[in-house]
A and B are shown apart, each in its own frame.
Chain A
Amino acid sequence: MRFRSITIHPEVKNTRIARQLGEGDICGQGPKLSDYRQGKRHLFVAPKRGELFHICASLDPRYICCSTHVISQISNCPFECTYCFLQNYLTDTTLTVVADTRAIIKEIREKTSLQPWRLFRIGTWELGDSLAVPPLNQVAVELVEEFKDLKNCILKLRTKGAFVEPLLDIDHGGRTVVSWTLNPPQVIAKEEIGTASLDKRLRAMELVSMAGYPVGLHFDPMILFPGWQRAYEELVRSVFSAIDPENCIWISIGSLRFNPEMKKKIENNYPSSRITVQEMVLGDDNKFRYLRPVREEMYSFLLQCLKEEGAQKCFTYLCMERWNVWENVFGWCPSSIGHLDYLMADSVHRRFPETAPTEPQKEIYMALTYE
């Protein structure tokens, strides 16, 4: 993919990514584009401004949330998923990447050192895709190299792409998880426009797994369509023929959700998409979701497929779901967000000691508060 324009802020013109781009106007600001699709084709390499490290914005105490942390390093995405919330979120739509990794790492180091006992899972995908296209994946390379020395942090790269080559020959120290958002090929073709095909994602997954990275899997958003069971069953089967469940650090499951304004945007931007016409109800967080019994059926089905493929040891959780949904799907539920945070840290510590060498203390996690 070629960008229509590349703008590099003068303060970051000597950074690795700016040098690798090798072209672009040097200017203090990127183009101002109101159309989010247009913004995907224009790149602005920016310096760090303000704080970028925070807890995931989806956190809502009425739902069980995995309380991951994020760095807002990327804004907008060259891919075009019909369900992407960015179409209703971004005001400045130019694809922006913050290039001064050192400053980002400094902020992370300062903040995470205040809770040295805690395992921080830190993603870069809050407003975009961590590895979407070259040379954007170069910023990820820099982060991977820095994270290997951050003892209580895990870098979470999450993608629907397949550009992993720059990650393969670097020393990651086991502290980076490369994860994929996964859907059956039918969904990828219709709803995840411009992303890598399933085969390409699986091949990339195989490569990072061979390079020693723990792999994360996100079956989220699961999408309902005629024949979904068979499609998800095949998806799970092909994932575990590409990687060994032992290398899978965690699996998240979630279903399509969007707020009412987003529904209009989706219908407008993607008139041929059918994802908004299923029966959905509005939850307390002002998001439409499939009916709860339907979601439970989907999650339980997927869980069964995962078991059949030997993935029962992988820590599996639901993304932004209610307590009763957990109960109905797993037969148990975490007692709080802190409890889930602890359970994840504990699972990583036991299964991937190189990634999380410190044993997590349950009481301290349980006492955490989340706004």
Chain B
Amino acid sequence: MERPSPPFEKTVVIAPKRLDQALDFSRVLEDLSVWDTSLLFQSLEENSILTPILVAKINHMEGDFLVIDGFKRLRWALKKRLTEVPVLNTGTMTRRQVLLLLLSRYSGHLKTCATKALFLNHLSEAGFPKDLLMDLAMKGLGLQPFGGLLEKYLRVSTLPKEVLRFCHEKDLSLKRCLNLTHQPRRLLEKIIRLRNRVSISASLLLELTDNISDILKRDEITAEEFFEKEEIKQIFSREMDINQRTRLFRKTVKQMRYPLLTRLQGELQDIQKDYFKNSPFMVRWDETLENKKVTISASVSDLSQLSDIVDAISSAKTKEGIKKILSRF
């Protein structure tokens, strides 16, 4: 045991200004809507601070006390402009001890990649050394203690706040979050802000950002200029339900990203319309236009339908239509 067990030094009353909040992670969780403080604040309004704020000095640091628990109580006190708050001084602690305490306090709330990333970043910014982060924090969060992995989480923590909130809500994996870090920030923010007008799933967000960022690069335009394009503006100015708008937005973006593929697919669809519009079977081809192969499929519920299908498939018109499609490959 590096540290004697309680009793700690006794409770004192000191000015909130003397308390250092550098370790306050609850604010970050509140931003992500992970923590709701309304009940606590209501209780504080009625009962004031009943439990003292826990403070420490790390390795005999100079100056003010470092808060290690009770951040929200302190925040309330500051808001209320209280001049004194009850404080329980735990004396001097090592970084390791403080980190363990923070982990025990927060780890139950850190289930998603986004929250883990923010927590690790928070610790890193608070000056906890890398080996302690790997050895203690990463293991405590159920992660492998690898430097490369830590870098990845720290990278995720740099995503815009609204995007991190989305990542948290959708419980996006590290890989998906990392993918987002490669996208232009302004674009991500813009798309995330469309959430009440377009129904954005995790995979759609990745698809849209991938495609739009390629368009931005290809056409050398900014995210703002993209959203000012007439075809995009129209999608958001017209009245339609959210699902319809989502489909249209997705389709338009794809067409803008793949103009040639869209045109070639259109030509194949025209052949399909000309030759197979009312056929009792379906004709499909490889949408990437790579493989020379046409798939003909049909479903029957009655044996008598079978001969109609066979006749239709072996007709001269079908052969001609299939030949036309195959000639495009």
Contacts and interface: CB of A to CB of B under 8 A. Distances in A.
Interface of A: 34, 264, 267-268, 274, 276-279, 281-284, 289, 291-294, 322-324
Interface string B259-290: 11100100000000000000000000000111
B202 to A, nearest CB: 16
Contact of A324 (B260, B261, B329): B329
Given A284-B290, A292-B290, 4 more contacts: A276-B214, A279-B258, A289-B290, A291-B264
B218 A268 contact: no
A324 B214 CA distance: 29
A294 B260 CA distance: 9
Interface of B: 148, 179, 182, 214-215, 217-218, 257-261, 264, 288-292, 329
A281 B254 CA distance: 12
A274 B218 contact: yes
Contacts of A267: 182
A291 B261 contact: yes
**5 closest Cβ contacts across the A-B interface?**
A281-B288, A277-B218, A324-B292, A277-B217, A277-B214
A276 B257 CA distance: 12
Given A267-B182, A274-B217, A274-B218, A279 B259 contact: yes
A264 B290 CA distance: 23
A56 B258 CA distance: 33
B288 A283 contact: yes
Given A274-B218, A277-B217, A34 B148 contact: yes
Nearest to A34: B148
Contact of A281 (B217, B261, B329): B261
A279 B288 CA distance: 11
A282 B182 CA distance: 20
Contacts of B218: 274, 277-278
A73 B217 CA distance: 38
7 contacts: A278-B218, A279-B258, A281-B290, A289-B290, A322-B292, A324-B291, A324-B329
A196 to B, nearest CB: 29
Contacts of A283: 288, 290
Given A279-B260, A291-B260, A268 B182 contact: yes
A289 B259 CA distance: 16
Contacts of B258: 279
B182 A264 contact: yes
A264 B179 contact: yes
Nearest to A272: B217
A282 B148 CA distance: 29
A366 B163 CA distance: 56
Nearest to B259: A279
B82 to A, nearest CB: 49
A289 B258 CA distance: 13
A281 B291 CA distance: 12
Nearest to A62: B291
A283 B286 CA distance: 11
Contacts of B290: 281, 283-284, 289, 292, 322
Contacts of A322: 290-292
Nearest to B329: A324
A274 B291 CA distance: 27
A292 B217 contact: no
Contacts of B329: 292, 324
Given A34-B148, A274-B218, A293 B288 contact: no
Contacts of B215: 277
A281 B289 contact: yes
Nearest to B217: A277
A318 to B, nearest CB: 14
A276 B290 CA distance: 19
A292 B289 contact: yes
Nearest to B288: A281
Interface centre among A268, A277, A278, A284 (most CB of B within 10 A): A277
Contact of A293 (B217, B257, B259, B289): B289
Contacts of A276: 214, 217
A292 B265 CA distance: 13
B177 to A, nearest CB: 13
A82 to B, nearest CB: 13
B24 to A, nearest CB: 33
A106 B148 CA distance: 39
Contacts of A289: 290
A324 B286 CA distance: 13
A282 B292 CA distance: 15
A293 B267 CA distance: 14
A155 to B, nearest CB: 34
A165 B289 CA distance: 46
Contacts of B179: 264
Contacts of B182: 264, 267-268
B172 to A, nearest CB: 16
A282 B291 CA distance: 11
Contact of B257 (A268, A279, A291): A279
A2 to B, nearest CB: 28
A174 to B, nearest CB: 39
B26 to A, nearest CB: 34
B328 to A, nearest CB: 8
A209 B292 CA distance: 41
A284 B292 CA distance: 13
A292 B3 CA distance: 69
Contacts of A291: 260-261, 264, 289
B176 to A, nearest CB: 12
Nearest to B175: A261
A34 B152 CA distance: 14
Contacts of A293: 260, 264, 289
Nearest to B260: A279
Nearest to A289: B290
Contacts of B289: 281, 291-293
Nearest to B151: A34
Contacts of B214: 276-277
Contacts of B261: 279, 281, 291
A323 B182 CA distance: 36
Contacts of A277: 214-215, 217-218
B77 to A, nearest CB: 46
A16 to B, nearest CB: 37
Nearest to A278: B218
A173 B218 CA distance: 49
